[in-house]
Structure 1
Amino acid sequence: MPPPTSGLFVDPDFPPCVSSLVRRGGTPLSPLCERITWLRPQEVWPSPRLFTEDPRLGLGRQGILGDCWFISACFALQKSTKLLHQVFPTGQCTWNKPGYTGRFTCRFWQFGYWVEVTIDDCLPCLGQKLCFSHCQDQGAFWLPLLEKAYAKLHGSYESLWAGQVVDALVDLTGGLVERWSLEDAEISIRKKMLCRMLDLKDRCAISCSVLHSKEGAGDLGEFHAFTITDIQQGVTNYGQELILIRVHNPWGRSCWSGAWGRKGDKWALMDKSESAKFLCGLQDGEFWVEKEEFLQEFNEVIMSFPVDEMEHIQSIWTDCPLLHTQQLYGSWVKGQTAGGSRNNVSFTDNPKFWLLVREQSEVYLALMQRPQTHDGTYRSHSRNVISKSTPLYAVGLHVWKVEKRRFNLQKTILSPVVAGTSSHSYDRQLHLRCELSPGYYLVIPSTFLRDTEGDFLLRVLSSGPIALRLRLFKLYIPFTTVTAKI
């Protein structure tokens, strides 16, 4: 018999009721609300625990909520114990232990700092089973608890219906994330991407997505995110070298019947002992795809930057630790600092920042916009992902090198940029990678439309010492170097 649950903590801000499931309706979740009950883990599983001893059994399964993007991003926590403990703090009292109260705390990186979200452990169920996310090992409950905390952060479970893997990875890591399009990339770029994926597969989370269905051997769906759980090199009996990519479908069932699927005919080209290494231990929903099939069937790859043992973010291109970081907040204010894109004569009204680079450095400049008030509507962004989310504006970022502190602003912005976004995009966070020589740089973040109001966060992460300051006319601000850990 499960232990009694009376007297345990019930979160008054996110109670176990319909208001925590849906707010505005309009998703397939709405008709199911009246059938959903709320149970604590000890009412669902005889001996619940937070984590599983076998990380392979910690892979997430989606349930009836359309949050494959979040579940795929959670794989990042299985790559780093330190990161897992940052997001899910240690020392929390669990079931069947003295002091258990039914209260848990998770952390998410939000607009420049880590915030704590406290929840109770009442979880949505249909019958006696969890109806949203759960692990392959259904006795481990870290994932459904984390999902609940993330739902509370967004206002409801329904708010997680569709979204961006890249945004969830930023929220879970506090770091940088890159999105690589596989559709428009040249062959040489694709090869470079695959090489980096192979080199980094054990150190960072890698996800892939299908944005629109294609003709092929399997049905991967559309607007669906997957997790890349491994990349291996193999050799056929004829000496042909292969790169095989293991993909996990958060639906928890195999959806691929290609040549290297579970029952694919290509395995006959390998020695049985060699093919057994690939097929042994496949979890529900996992399948292997050969690199050419992968490039044909998937539209994009999303990769988070790894974190080293000293907790410094590392470049995914050079492996250099980004030892120096600094961030500043700013705003676009109508009639003052909302100058719009470079197409507008008012572009120079935008907030302007000085960046001092003290030595040759690899530098990343990240611009994050604060989402506006929730409007509860669905819309299609430029990335072909339909999401119910807070409105985002099209934003851009441009950088010029300047020779001295006093310079002609109009002349500078008409000169070629050192680095800049090719176009304004609706990304919540975007970043530029630069190899910068010592000196001063002018950095201007902008929205596409003039008089668009909003707040933003500008972060600089560098392999060498840097200093970032807001540029104020007729005011001298001394530079200081900041070194910090993420």
Structure 2
Amino acid sequence: MPPPGVCMNIISARHMKDGYGTVTNPERFLNQDFHQMKQYCLIRQVRYIDEMFPPDRNSVGSGILKPSDLARVVWLRPGKIVPNPSFVVDGVSRFDFGQGLVGNCWFLASIGALTFQNHILGQVVPLEQNFDENYCGLFHFRFWRFGRWVDVVIDDKLPTIDGRLIFVHSRDPTEFWPALLEKAYAKVCGSYTDMNAGTPAEALVDFTGGVHICINLANPPPNLWEMMCRAGQSKSLMGCGTQQGATSANTVLPNGLVQGHAYTVTGVKEVMSREQIVNLVRLWNPWGQGEWNGDWSDQSPLWQTVSPQDRDMCLSVRDDGEFWMHLQDFCKFYTDLDICCLCPDFLDGNSICHWRTSFYEGRWVAGTTAGGCMNNPGSFWTNPQYRVKVDELSSECSEKQGEKNMLVSLMQKPDKRNRHLVQTLHIGFSVFEVPENYVAHRGKFPASFFSMNKPVAQSKTYVDARDVMEFMALKPGEYLIVPSTYSPNETASFILTILSKAETHVHENSGGLEPMEVKESIAGENGENDESRRTLFRQYSDKYEEVDAEQLQRLLNEKILKGELKSGGFSTDACRSMVALMDTSVTGKLNCEEFVLLWKKAVTYQEIFSHSDVSKTGTLSLSELRNAIIASGKKVSDEMLNLMALRYGTSSGHITLESFISLLLRFDCMYRPCRGDSSLSREAQTSLSPVTSASSSKAFPGQLRDIISPVCL
């Protein structure tokens, strides 16, 4: 059976088609239903305690508190901390809170940006929650997590020492939305400790489900100021970070900035100073204190050189963590600028032209679809491929020659819930133009294509980040996008997002099922004829000249495939499935003709197996499996190939002859409905019925169920 995560991916895909996972209809995180739980608590008149994120030391995690301090932690509800708690007091502001003991400045900086966008804030933080009407200690928040929105339920027990909150805390001790929001995100990450260290981009994307654009401030684009101004005017969230020092400590520099620290970009302003235009950037420290003390800081005399109106509008001489600095100093002391937006129209200022979004989930699987970067010419072609057709721009989207019109983002999905256990791979992508001689090509582009064609665009470098993106200019035509890890044979899931000004048509380029006849020569001369097969059959059959699963098991293991079996032979269950698939007479047994047909197939598949086993190990590696499937005359999508490997492969990733024969028998039955074959057994027709009404990759959900089903061969 495939791992549970594979099944969950399929279930999630089906739910998305039914509308689940959207911001208006989010999925229930850990299958906890907020409304049902609240109704239960109100009826029973009890206060909710979350068993999935319990108020204990496991939810705090290890490493951020000394063992002696961890032993002093007491989880208290807000009503036990202050007499009259409130969810929100006098609106939501970045000045409501300050950072606690966990190093999650990246998360709090993102909350600071979130407070500027009320619509987005309301999606993440349901503001109607309170401690008055129908209070039962139950709250919920919504986050975008790797392709879908999830609704996260928590209880309101918060970790304290001596009655004080140890993590994020509000300036007004009666306000608790920041502490509860932090707890909900800690639950998503695995624990409070799992929130330690990160970049604002991660939380900005999780708050919006938008596109992340990262700008390297050491080499900024010439129109950086214009981009920041447009981003500030649009519904974009912006964060940034300072260079890490010699250690991981957040050292405060003489200029007041903190090393290795995240900040929020809270505004941009153009002022006149001494008859010159000055571009100013406003930033906020999520500590709630500690500010820049250079030019244009709160105490800088340069504020006396601007108009009284600008000074009154901008200057606030308070130690609240917010300050102004010149754009040049911003680029000098900060490493990168993260902008997260739902639509990247701020990049060129053309708000009339609407960007179109395509969203695809995929997976690299070692041995089948994880070919590594272009340094691996023999395997690069096996990576997932996405074919994109870019149309001419509409009249309102007219652009200058060479102006960038497409944004490609690649995000890798974690395979573990606990954030600190996730190991990101070095990822990137390449974009190839499809030449005329390949326009009619169907299915995966071969290795020869990539040896003769160079990328027209690609991510700048392979980085071990959660996501990489590239903004590019593509003229109308057809293109191939190939996402990959840097090294081959690295397994991971990913999300590919394509935003384009022009109308685009995108599809996965791995090829679906296409029936092709197996060449008779593949079977070779096996020295047996049908009459000798019938003679052997009669020696094992019952008085009705039929064999059941146990008799078939002996025939296969002892007479037909003797000496070739590496795993002890076919099991009884596998033979029962064979009988069910080949039993066209629906008797529960195989008659002579059904047995002869099965024998022919088994010998043919044995020959294919032998030819494909180039390593001569008696098993197929996952890359050899791909060749064996092709040799059998069938075409299969990458996703199907991945699931075959998971379903039929051993723990070492190899396929035995028995598993290969079982796989192809099942696979052959999937082909027969497409051919209109009426000889399919009742069991096969029933289990494969979703495939018969669809063709090629459109039959994917039904085919997946057959390949991974526990009753498969």
Tell me the TM-score range normalised by the shorter chain: 0.7 to 0.9
Q: Would you say 1:258 and 2:258 are equivalent positions?
A: no
**Superposition CA RMSD, Å:** 2.9
Query: Residues 405 and 40 from structure 1, CA distance in 2 versus in 1: closer, same or farther, beyond 3 angstroms?
Result: farther
> More strand by proportion, 1 or 2?
1
Do the aligned residues in 2 keep the contact of 1:70 with 1:165 (CA within 8 Å)? yes
> What is residue 348 of structure 2 aligned with on the other side?
318
TM-score by length of 2: 0.58
1:385 match? none
Q: How does 1:318-467 map to 2 (within 5 A)?
A: 318-319=348-349, 320=351, 322-345=354-377, 346-360=379-393, 362-373=405-416, 388-402=420-434, 403=436, 404-406=439-441, 409-413=446-450, 414-467=452-505
Matches within 5 A, 1:76-155: 76-89=113-126, 91-92=128-129, 94-97=130-133, 99-155=134-190
Stretch moving more, 142-151 or 364-373: 364-373
* CA–CA distance in structure 2, aligned partners of residues 91 and 64 of structure 1: 29
Cα contact 2:94–2:115 (8 A) shared by 1: no
* 1:9/1:103 contact within 8 Å kept: yes
Contact 2:64 2:101 (C-alpha < 8 Å) held by counterparts: no
SS of structure 2 residue aligned to 1:315: helix
What secondary structure does 2:473 align onto?
A: strand
Q: What does the per-residue CA deviation read over 1:409-450, in whole Å, with 9 as the maximum and x for residues that have no partner?
A: 445424232321122111212222233333322111111111
Cα contact 1:371–1:390 (8 A) shared by 2: yes
Give the structure with the higher percent helix. 2
In structure 2, C-alpha distance between the alignment counterparts of 1:60 and 1:207, rounded to whole Å: 17
AA aligned to 1:364 is: L
Instruction: Give the partner amino acid of 1:466.
Output: T
Cα contact 1:58–1:140 (8 A) shared by 2: no
Equivalent residues of 2:230, 2:346 under 8 A apart: no
SS of structure 1 residue aligned to 2:328: helix
Is the Cα–Cα contact under 8 Å of residues 322 and 461 in structure 1 kept in the other structure?
no
Q: Residues 6-62 of structure 1: CA distance to partner in whole angstroms, max 9, x if unpaired? A: 93111111111111101xx23356553223222222333444333344444555421
User: Compared with structure 1, are the counterparts of its residues 8 and 281 closer, same or farther at alpha carbon in structure 2 (3 Å cutoff)?
Assistant: farther
Partners in 2 of 1:277 and 1:225 — Cα distance? 25
What are the residue-to-residue correspondences of 1:289-300 with 2, within 5 Å?
A: 289-300=325-336
Question: Aligned to 2:71, what secondary structure does the other structure show?
Answer: helix
Spell out the pairing of 1:89-238 with structure 2 (5 A cutoff): 89=126, 91-92=128-129, 94-97=130-133, 99-185=134-220, 189=221, 191-203=222-234, 204-213=236-245, 217-236=254-273, 238=274
Q: Distance in 2 between matches of 1:467 and 1:45?
A: 57
Q: 1:39-54 counterparts in 2 under 5 A?
A: 39-54=76-91
Tell me if structure 1 keeps the 8 A contact 2:345–2:355: no
Assess if the C-alpha contact under 8 Å between 1:469 and 1:479 holds in 2. no
- In 1, distance between residues paired with 2:311 and 2:374? 55
Task: Quote the offset at 1:398 in angstroms.
Answer: 1.1
Structure 2 distance, partners of 1:296, 1:8, is: 52
Write the deviation string for residues 388-417 of structure 1: whole angstroms up to 9, x where unpaired: 451010011111121413287445424232
Note closer, same or farther for the CA distance 1:472–1:205 as it changes in structure 2 (3 Å cut). Answer: closer
C-alpha distance in 1 between matches for 2:241 and 2:66? 23
1:383 aligns with: none
Q: What is the identity, as a one-letter code, of the residue corresponding to 2:199?
A: Q
3-state secondary structure, aligned to 1:166 = helix
Q: Please tell me whether Structure 1 or Structure 2 has the larger radius of gyration of its CA atoms.
A: 2
Q: CA deviation at 1:467?
A: 2.6
Q: Does 1:63 align with 2:104?
A: no
Q: Is the 8 A contact 2:370 2:382 kept in 1?
A: yes
Contact 1:251 1:285 (C-alpha < 8 Å) held by counterparts: yes
Provide the secondary structure at the position in 2 that maps to 1:458.
strand
Which residue number corresponds to residue 287 of structure 1?
323
1:176-234 Cα shifts (integer Å, max 9, x gaps): 1112121244xxx2x42122112322432211211235997513222100111122122
Residue of structure 2 equivalent to 1:275: 311
Question: Larger deviation: 200-209 or 367-376?
Answer: 367-376
Q: Does 1:472 align with 2:510?
A: yes
- Residue-by-residue CA offset, 1:60-93 (whole Å, 9 max, x unaligned): 421211100001112342233222222223544x
Equivalent positions of 1:3-82 (< 5 A) are: 7-22=46-61, 25-28=62-65, 32-56=69-93, 58-82=95-119
Unaligned runs of 5+ in 1: 1-5, 308-312, 377-387, 481-486
What is the distance in 2 between the residues matched to 1:289 and 1:168? Answer: 25
Deviation at 1:246, TM superposition (A): 1.7
Task: Find the aligned partners of 1:354 and 1:178 in 2 and give their Cα distance.
Answer: 23
The more displaced of 243-252 and 78-87 is: 78-87
SS at match of 1:251: coil
With the length of structure 1 as denominator, give the TM-score of the two structures.
0.84
Look up the equivalent residue of 1:337 and give its one-letter code. T
Asked if structure 2 preserves the Cα contact closer than 8 Å seen for 1:181 and 1:299, the reply is yes
Q: When the two structures are aligned, how many residues end up with a matched partner?
A: 449
Where 2:498 maps in the other structure, the secondary structure is strand
- Match of 1:218, SS state, is coil
Aligned residue identity for 1:317 = L
**Distance change >3 Å, CA 215–CA 171, structure 1 → 2:** closer
> Equivalents in 2 of 1:115, 1:226: separation in Å?
26
Cα–Cα, structure 1 residues 316 and 139, in superposed 2: closer, same or farther, change >3 Å?
Answer: farther
- Please identify, of 412-421 and 54-63, the stretch whose mean Cα deviation from structure 2 is larger: 54-63
Give the residue type in structure 2 aligned to 1:464: A
- Unpaired runs of 5+ residues, structure 2, are 1-44, 246-250, 398-404, 515-694, 699-713
User: For the residues of structure 2 that align with 1:272 and 1:442, how far apart are their CA atoms?
Assistant: 56
Cα distance in structure 2, aligned partners of 1:137 and 1:440: 57
For residues 460 and 441 of structure 1, what CA distance do their matches in structure 2 show? 12
